[in-house]
Amino acid sequence: MVSKEEILKIINNKKLLDEYLIKCFKAVDTDNSGYVDFKELEKMLFNVSNEAHVNKPNQDKINKIFDAIDKNKDGKISCEEFCLIARKNLEKMAKENK
Ligand SMILES: [Ca+2]
């Protein structure tokens, strides 16, 4: 987990942001295929739920999240698609923390 100060530092620095987003993508893409598949997204969401101490999302919810990230509907999440969402999330977190 990153602190509020770290989040702000990251989103205000393009180089740091790119590095951070790619690091996140690689952490989720566990088989190094260059894409995040459904199982990998599921695993990530379960980990996030665990850390946040909230209930795990069900298959239906994961499907919806996957669909929302997979903009071109090719059934896999590319680095670009992933980074876009991860960045939005960071910006949201930074706002909420203010
Ligand atoms: Ca895709």
The pLDDT score that the predictor gives to residue 65 is 95
Ligand 1 centre distance from Cα of residue 74 (Å):
5
Which residue, among 72, 98, 71, 73, has the nearest Cα to 85 in the 3D structure? 71
**77, containing H or E segment:** strand 77-78
97 Cα: distance to centroid of ligand 1 (angstroms): 31
Q: How far is the CA of 18 from the centre of ligand 1 (A)?
A: 19
**β-strand 77-78 against 35-36: which pairing, if any?**
antiparallel
Residue 82 CA, ligand 1 centroid: distance in Å = 9
Spell out the domain ranges in the chain: 4-96
Q: Which CATH superfamily is domain 4-96 in?
A: EF-hand (1.10.238.10)
pLDDT of residue 85: 94
Separation of 31 CA from ligand 1 center, angstroms?
17
Residue that wins the pLDDT comparison between 2 and 88: 88
pLDDT digits (tens, 9 = 90+) for 74-88: 999 999 999 999 999
- pLDDT confidence bin for 96, thresholds 50/70/90: confident
The pLDDT tens digits of the residues spanning 15-65 come to 999 999 999 999 999 999 999 999 999 999 999 999 999 999 999 999 999
